[in-house]
A and B are shown apart, each in its own frame.
Chain A
Amino acid sequence: MERQTVKTTFYLSEFYEEEKWLECQHKSGWKFIKTDGKTYEFEKCPKEDWVYQLDFKASDVAEKDYLQIFEDYGWEFVQRHRHWFYFRKKRTDDDGDYSIFSDAESKIEMCRRVIRGRLFRNILLPLVLLTVAYFGASVFVDSRLWKPWLRSVAMFGLSIGITYVMVHYGNQYKRVKKKIGRLKRHLE
């Protein structure tokens, strides 16, 4: 089977975009096989209309009854990457059920799982580590061991790191929050 890998990244708030992208790939004859978050592996297949859906689970375990329910509904479980579960279903002519969440409440609940499950860890942990490193470097490192410019470069690097984490994940957090707001007003 012919295969191809594509390097791309979807940020934490972009799960709907990722679903759409996978659907486009399938439509153009590339069936999703697996991802590690940075590269996506595809296999050549007939050009067909399949729906892709992502679920974020609080635990990164696929309980057998969890997968069974999806299978009963006709969803094919493709793979799990960390807390993300990838499902797909072929779109047919009948007016079928092509979403894994049928009401706003459960969609909002998934957004909340994303925030609780990853964003806090992604923001808080790097921030704490970088801040500790920053103050550690400024207070405890004996300045005689450091060339003055080297020390400045290190401090500058760390502040850039802190700013990046705050801006990037702060932004992702805001976007998921915005999704929740839209879902509450039944816009999505």
Chain B
Amino acid sequence: MNHKLRKIYIPMTETGFYILFCLQNEMHGYNIMQRVKEMTTGEVVISAGTMYGSLAKMEKDGLIRSTKEEGKRKFYIITELGRDILRTELRRIERLYRNSKGEKW
């Protein structure tokens, strides 16, 4: 994996994590926001500008790619590189969680 990208993206922000996590399925920006709202019972809301900026940055860095346009909406899906980053981040969170519970890692 690209080490520079790993440094930039890990640990991920809550916004970044949820966007990348959701994009394991093909979605557009507003879809992602709704999905995240559901997943967190309304606690995490990603605003329009934040969503647009994150998607643009992740696409530029190759973590996601755009798949199609329906009307003016752009759909995205995670790439292999994105999956690598997500896996690394999930491992980190899992370790964090286990350690917090006093379990052996």
A110: chain B residues within 8 A (beta carbon): 49
**Shortest CB–CB separation between residue A64 and chain B, in angstroms?**
4
Cβ contact within 8 Å between B47 and A102: yes
Cβ contact within 8 Å between B45 and A65: no
Q: A72-B29, A72-B30, A73-B33 are in contact. Are A106 and B72 (CB under 8 A)?
A: no
**Shortest CB–CB separation between residue A89 and chain B, in angstroms?**
10
B71: chain A residues within 8 A (beta carbon): 68
- Footprint of B on A, CB under 8 Å? 53, 55, 64-70, 72-73, 75, 87, 97, 99-103, 105-106, 109-110
CA distance A99 to B74 in the complex (A): 22
Cβ contact within 8 Å between A73 and B48: yes
Q: Is B52 an interface residue (CB 8 A)?
A: yes
The A-contacting residues of B in range 35-67, CB under 8 angstroms, are 45-54
Greatest chain B CB density within 10 A among A70, A75, A99, A103 is at A103
A68, A75, A87, A99: the one within 8 Å of B72 (CB): A68
Q: Is B100 an interface residue (CB 8 A)?
A: no
B13: chain A residues within 8 A (beta carbon): 103, 105
Q: Is B95 an interface residue (CB 8 A)?
A: no
Q: Is B79 an interface residue (CB 8 A)?
A: no
Cβ contact within 8 Å between A106 and B53: yes
Cβ contact within 8 Å between A99 and B15: no
Q: Is B14 an interface residue (CB 8 A)?
A: yes
**Shortest CB–CB separation between residue A185 and chain B, in angstroms?**
16
Q: Is B73 an interface residue (CB 8 A)?
A: yes
A73: chain B residues within 8 A (beta carbon): 30, 33, 47-48
A87: chain B residues within 8 A (beta carbon): 48
Cβ contact within 8 Å between A100 and B14: no
Cβ contact within 8 Å between B72 and A102: no
**Shortest CB–CB separation between residue B8 and chain A, in angstroms?**
12
Q: A68-B71, A68-B72 are in contact. Are A102 and B46 (CB under 8 A)?
A: yes
Greatest chain A CB density within 10 A among B14, B30, B48, B73 is at B48
Q: A97-B45, A102-B15, A103-B15 are in contact. Are A64 and B50 (CB under 8 A)?
A: no
A67: chain B residues within 8 A (beta carbon): 72
**Shortest CB–CB separation between residue A183 and chain B, in angstroms?**
13
A64, A75, A103, A105: the one within 8 Å of B48 (CB): A75
**Shortest CB–CB separation between residue A102 and chain B, in angstroms?**
4
Greatest chain A CB density within 10 A among B47, B73, B74 is at B47
Q: Is B69 an interface residue (CB 8 A)?
A: yes
